[in-house]
Amino acid sequence: MEKLLKLLKNNARLSNAELAVMLGKSEADVAADIEKLEKEGIITGYTAIVDEAVYDPNSVTALIELKVTPQSQSGYDDIAKAIAAYEQVESVRLMSGAYDILVSVTGTNIREVSRFVAENLAAIDAVQSTATHFLLRSYKVNGISVTANEKDERGLMFP
Amino acid sequence: MIDYNKVLSPAIMGMKPSGIRKFFDIAQQLEGVISLGVGEPDFKTPYVVRREAINVLEKGRTSYTANAGLAELREEIAKYFHKRIGVDYDPKDEIIVTVGGSEGIDLCLRSVVTQGDEVLIVQPSFVCYSPIVTLCGGVPVPIETKAENEFRLTAAELRGKITDRTKLLVLPFPNNPTGAIMRKEDLEAIAEVLRDTNILVLSDEIYSELTYSGKHVSIASLPDMRERTIVINGFSKAYAMTGWRLGIAAAPRELISQMLKLHQYAIMSSPTVSQFAAITALRQCDDDIVKMRDEYDMRRRYLVDAFNKLGLDCFTPQGAFYVFPCIRSTGLSSSDFCEKLVYSKKVAVVPGNAFGDCGEGFVRVSYAYSLSHLREAIKRIGEFLEELKNGTVQ
């Protein structure tokens, strides 16, 4: 399973036939393994890794730290879910440490993201404070290096 | 004007340059070539090893070491051999830390081969054995392994080449370029032939950690074989440390003491920073070896399947990081195949005959490349074969 997951994390578009060859298993076994991983909620989806900076050079991503007053019944859950419901929000995570919730947001420009933080996040009653960090450059995303193709410094041929 | 033809050694001038030179030159001048031609890992040296080298430099530990190498490193190497191949070498006087496996091969051949000695060289194989044997005045005698035997050396093939002038057998497994390995039973048969002779074995085990089914077995571990075997290994392939230039030669002290004289005069001692880093590699990087091997293994399975599907017969190699598909079905020679492929599809592979005449009809394909790189190369080779069939190769 570990090897299968590793292959899929690197390239989820490999066909079951290709995976089967590489893992030395039958195609049916691979299909069953994948189904099991999906059923158990280990694989929760398949997605394209988009370099937003190439797709839209003006777009910005921000990580926003929120200090939140937990609610009497639901703790952080209801607030986190409310934040997660916004379309521009890419991830919402409850954290240990100096703040409580970490939100990542992508917008078409800095002003749009700033307005979202001020009007939608900071305005929530339970939110005590926010700290917004704009992302400057990504080097590795989801375990995959995304810096411009590192050059293969090896010679073309060597015995 | 000086006449260089008169000053240079005829023996050196007569030495043929490596057979892949021509393709290297062609590939070099074309734009956008994707290569499957290298013989070194695509992985970086494990970070802890690089870190240790930086520490050593910061501390300024940059002097020579003992000729044979750092005592601490030789002790780790002795433990490594004990653990991995079950053979004990005394770190004091049975191990030399060399400048790559290549230096170990050179030391061994120059220490034992004299005028008229015959050296049996299993082929296809790495390119350095014959030229050095010739330089020593010896006679290289190829033993050609065959695809139908999965490129293993058989006792019959060996017996057929032994004469009373045979000095040494070069046994390079896991094999570059075929990826063949020798299982224990294959080695037993070879040992049986050699046991009552005075023939030595140069066992080049540089790819030993890249064995995909079962454990690597060294001929030195078989009864009566340690005394006649020089084991060559190193850090390049196992730990992705090619550029550190660090290898290992291990043998009985009677042999090592002679080899050490050559090493002492030619090299003095192997790179100090590399030696310190290698201690870390041996102590901490077993997991890295496994990770890299697993990754190679998946690529190996992918390529074998892909070549067979393309109609190029390819046996399943059990070692190193090469596959060796047969290209005879195309009607082309190895050289023509490689040349046409690199010109029309910009994919560089190495003609099999660069590794001995019996490699004709095959090409060597390295899988020390990422899977996405291999997939692109296979796509292009598929197009190439299709165009060959239709007679539309550019």
Domain residue limits, chain A = 2-39, 52-136
Higher model confidence: residue B120 or residue A125? B120
The alpha carbons of chain B give a radius of gyration, in whole angstroms, of: 21
pTM beyond 0.90, yes or no:
no
Q: CATH topology of A2-39 equal to that of A52-136?
A: no
Residue A43 pLDDT > 70, yes or no? yes
Residue A145 pLDDT > 80, yes or no? no
Residue B353 pLDDT > 80, yes or no? yes
pLDDT-based confidence at residue A159 (cuts at 50, 70, 90): confident
CB atoms within 10 A of CB A40: 8
> What DSSP designation does B46 have?
P
Distance CA B22, CA A47 (A): 44
pLDDT at A149: 62
Contact flag B305-A157 (C-beta cutoff 8 Å): no
- Residue pairs spanning A and B at CB distance below 8 A: 54
Residue spans of alpha helices (H) in chain B: 4-7, 10-13, 21-29, 47-59, 71-85, 100-112, 129-135, 155-159, 184-194, 253-266, 272-284, 286-309, 334-345, 371-390
Chain B: closest CA distance from residue A158 (Å): 5
Q: Model confidence over B235-254: pLDDT tens digits?
A: 999 999 999 999 999 999 99
What is the percent of chain A with per-residue pLDDT over 70, rounded to a whole number? 97
Average the pLDDT over B47-59 and give the result: 97
* CATH code 3.40.50.300 for B4-45+287-388: no
**What residue in A sits closest to B355 (Cα-Cα)?**
A159
B178, B153 Cβ separation under 8 angstroms: no
Residue ranges of domains in chain B: 4-45+287-388, 47-284
User: Among residues A156, A157, A136, A138, which one has the least CA distance to residue A147?
Assistant: A138
* CATH code 3.40.50.2300 for A2-39: no
Distance CA A143, CA A149 (A): 15
pLDDT-based confidence at residue B159 (cuts at 50, 70, 90): very high
Three-class SS state of B167: strand
pLDDT at A148: 61
**Fold designation for A52-136:** Alpha-Beta Plaits (3.30.70)
pLDDT-based confidence at residue B136 (cuts at 50, 70, 90): very high
Q: Hey, what are A77's tokens? A: 């859950």
- Degrees, nearest 5: CA angle A41-A42-A47: 95
Tell me the backbone φ, ψ of residue A16, rounded to 5 degrees: -60, -35
B219, B205 Cβ separation under 8 angstroms: no
CATH top-level class of B47-284: alpha beta
Q: Model confidence over B73-86: pLDDT tens digits?
A: 999 999 999 999 99
Chain A residues touching residue B350 (CB < 8 angstroms): 157, 159
Distance CA B11, CA B7 (A): 12
**What residue in B sits closest to A158 (Cα-Cα)?**
B38
ipTM (interface predicted TM): 0.75
The alpha carbons of chain A give a radius of gyration, in whole angstroms, of: 21
